[in-house]
Amino acid sequence: MERNIGRPEIKIKDKKVIRPQKPWSIDIQNFLRYLRDKNVTYVPEPLGFDQDGNEILSYVPGEVYSYPLPAKLLTHKSIISAGKLLRDFHDKGADFLKSLSGQEKWMLTYDMPHEVMCHGDFAPYNVTTIDGIATGIIDFDTVMPGTRLWDVVYGAYRWVPLYFDDTTEVTTEMQVRLRLFLEAYGLSKSEYSLIVPCLVKRLDYLIEFMEKEAQSGEKNFQVNIADGHIEKYKNDIKFLKENEELLAPG
């Protein structure tokens, strides 16, 4: 399965990532600068914009994978490292909320409390790994203020993964990997019962966003829809609802 948020054309030159500027690029650079100033080195360093208006970022070393995930990302050590990385990212970036004016531009917006800065797409294709261990986070187009749960459930969806492409039941390994991810993150057990309802909302929002963008002429989303991404999300929503009790650890 391909990445759900259309990736702009990216060039890598002299260990720098050069990508087209977007309306939210300046606010994302401000957020990344905040993190780097706090010695968070697993995110790209923002290097401003070139004379052509392209956004410049430092290159984050490591391997990035899409689906199907390789065996090295299906180990328990790997998913635990992903949960811990997401928790550290949330904790380190939470105070950035105090500097927000409300005039910032984000690609994604959703009406919910602002607890942390969500990555918005914390998935293997946006996390660099070394020997299967999550070590860096890239591609912040989808960053937005939100709740921990909003980011955690989508991270679990992508890392477990909570897909139902080739199965019609929740497997034991799926349950174990979900529990390991949540425990590694340190999500409060009082929120375990909210995992499936929140993930269903997250996927519903993704479907709505993709359809709107495709209708506005965004070719990446038109291609994703033609490739069956929305049908896949709808199918996953169906099985998530049917198996909600099995996906609430403990």
Q: What is the pLDDT of residues 144-168, one digit of tens each?
A: 999 999 999 999 999 999 998 777 7
pLDDT digits (tens, 9 = 90+) for 50-100: 999 899 999 999 999 999 999 999 999 999 999 999 999 999 999 999 999
Give residue 10's pLDDT: 75
> Residue 195 half-sphere exposure, CB side, CA atoms within 13 Å?
26
Give residue 7's pLDDT: 52
Span of 7-21, 112-126, 171-185 with lowest mean pLDDT: 7-21
- Identify the structural domains of the chain with CATH numbers, from first to last: 11-58 (no CATH), 71-247 (1.10.510.10)
Q: At what angle do helices 229-242 and 219-226 cross, to 10 degrees?
A: 60
113-137 mean pLDDT: 98
For residue 110, how many other CB atoms are within 10 A of its CB? 16
CA distance 150 to 202: 7
* Alpha carbon of residue 43 to chain centroid: 13
CA 76 to each of CA 12, 67, 180, 205, 247: distance values in angstroms, whole numbers, following the listed order:
32, 18, 7, 29, 17
Which tokens in the block code for residue 63?
């391997």
Which tokens in the block code for residue 173?
């390994």
Q: Is the pLDDT of residue 226 over 90?
A: yes
Give residue 250's pLDDT: 66
Please give the helix or strand (H or E) that residue 57 lies within, else none.
strand 55-58
Which tokens in the block code for residue 122?
């914390």
Query: Which of these, 120, 113, 105, lies nearest to 209 by C-alpha position?
Result: 120
What are the beta bridge partners of residue 116? 146
Q: Is the pLDDT of residue 200 over 80?
A: yes
What are the beta bridge partners of residue 230? none
Residue 66, helix vs strand vs coil: coil
Q: Tokens 């994604």 sit at which residue?
A: 108
Residues 106, 139 contacting (CB under 8 angstroms): no
Residue 135, C-beta contacts closer than 8 angstroms, at least 6 positions apart:
42, 62, 81, 85, 128, 129
Confidence of residue 1 (pLDDT cuts 50, 70, 90): very low
Ramachandran class of 186: left when φ > 0, alpha when ψ lies in -120 to 50, beta otherwise: left
Find the farthest-apart pair of alpha carbons in the chain and give their distance in angstroms, rounded: 55
Give residue 4's pLDDT: 43
DSSP 82-93: HHHHHHHHHHHH
Entry pTM:
0.94
Query: Can you say whether the dihedral through the CA atoms of 144, 183, 67, 1 is positive or negative?
Result: negative
Q: Is the pLDDT of residue 8 over 60?
A: no
Residue 103, C-beta contacts closer than 8 angstroms, at least 6 positions apart:
none
